[in-house]
Structure 1
Amino acid sequence: MALMWEEVVVDSRDPRTLGLWWRDALGWVVVGESADELEIAPSQGAHPTVLFGAVPEEKSGKNRLHLDFVPDDQAAEVDRLIGLGASRVDIGQADVSWVVLADPEGNEFCVLAARP
């Protein structure tokens, strides 16, 4: 049996705004858009994609699934993402080598220390 990872779906109050935020944060491109969805990918035809879909409710509680990113320079990337509208969040991580941020709708993600 073959199984291909197609996309990650992110519930959003404003999928266009959040999808464009992630497009800018990742340097990806928009590959699809409708009235209530926006889809981004590293390039046209690449997978998996991230699909932002409209839901009526606000996010509540900590994410059960989150994304981790490894930058070349952790401090510079954290500053860049905060400049785009991310915020630092405390989910009880204590003193760790990664930085927990949240996107403009409160979805947590981590910026790990650069790999050697």
Structure 2
Amino acid sequence: MGSLWENLVIDARDPARLARWWAEALRYQVVADEPDEVEIRRAPETLPALIFVPVRDEKSVKNRLHICLRPDDQEAEVERLVDMGARHVDVGQPPDATWTVLADPEGNEFCVLQARGNTG
């Protein structure tokens, strides 16, 4: 018997703020908002969820796990996310990378990939 992916837990200095940022970025909705965790999902009954929990310490190293987004229009999506507060980061990606590495408002890296079928 296998397992189903239920959620991904993300440490945050300000879970409510970061959850709302990711909800807007992904077009998800907040389904639970408690002091010890904020949960977002595409729809209330749809998994997997992203759960944001409070931590005291700042992020200090590159993520060991990150989210990759695949929009229809990479350039427009990168611009939208940067306008929302993401920033470009260098994690050692090659200069000719087909993806763009950004960081959310708390510094968590994520990638914005090219649209499927787009080779350049």
Interval of TM-score (by shorter of Structure 1 and Structure 2): over 0.9
Cα distance in 1, alignment partners of residues 75 and 4 from structure 2: 34
Q: Which amino acid aligns with 1:37?
A: E
1:17-50 alpha-carbon deviations (Å, 9 max, x no partner): 0000000001101111101311000001110000
Residue identity opposite 1:108 in structure 2? E
1:28 aligned partner, one-letter code: Y
Structure 1 stretches of 4+ moved >6 Å: none
- Identical counterparts, % of pairs: 53
How many residues align? The count is 116
In 2, the alpha carbon distance for the partners of 1:43 and 1:115 equals 24
Q: What amino acid is the match of 1:50?
A: L
TM-score (norm 2): 0.94
**Unaligned 5+ runs, structure 1:** none
Structure 2 equivalent of residue 81 of structure 1: 81
Aligned to 1:109: 110
Q: SS of the residue aligned with 2:65?
A: coil
Unaligned runs of 5+ in 2: none
Aligned-CA RMSD value: 0.8
